[in-house]
């Protein structure tokens, strides 16, 4: 094994996802689909559903900066729906 392969192997962490993480990932994919569909229809309910689904995925991965962004988008679209 060359030194480049050793370095790359050291940098990449290989682990299996738990069933909960797999489910959260699939829910996040649905959320991304809702967000794409919402861009074409400008339907607030699709945005809200999309942000909720993606929020589940990023929270399960502990990506707190994205959790904050998704909560911001969710609050904005709920406010838009109400008014």
% of the chain residues with pLDDT over 90: 77
- Please check whether residue 46 lies inside any domain of the structure: yes
DSSP-derived letter for residue 58 is H
**C-alpha span between 42 and 23 (Å, rounded):** 27
Confidence band for 4, pLDDT divided at 50, 70 and 90? confident
Q: Contact at 8 Å (CB) between 14 and 40?
A: no
| Residue 4 covered by a domain | no
* Structural domain includes residue 67: yes
Domain membership flag for residue 5: no
The 10s digit of each residue's pLDDT in 15-46 is 788 899 999 999 999 999 999 999 999 999 99
Structural domain including 26 reads 17-82
Total domains in the chain come to 1
Instruction: Name the pLDDT band for 12 (thresholds 50, 70, 90).
Output: confident
Asked if residue 7 is part of any domain, the answer here is: no
């Amino acid at each position: 094994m060359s030194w480049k392969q050793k370095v790359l192997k050291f940098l990449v962490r290989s682990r299996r996802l738990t069933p909960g993480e797999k489910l959260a990932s699939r829910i996040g994919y649905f959320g991304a689909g809702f967000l794409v569909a919402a861009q074409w229809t400008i339907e607030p309910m699709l945005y809200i559903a999309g942000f909720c689904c993606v929020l589940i995925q990023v929270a399960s991965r502990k990506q707190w900066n994205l959790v904050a962004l998704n909560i911001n988008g969710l609050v904005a679209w709920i406010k838009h729906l109400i008014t």
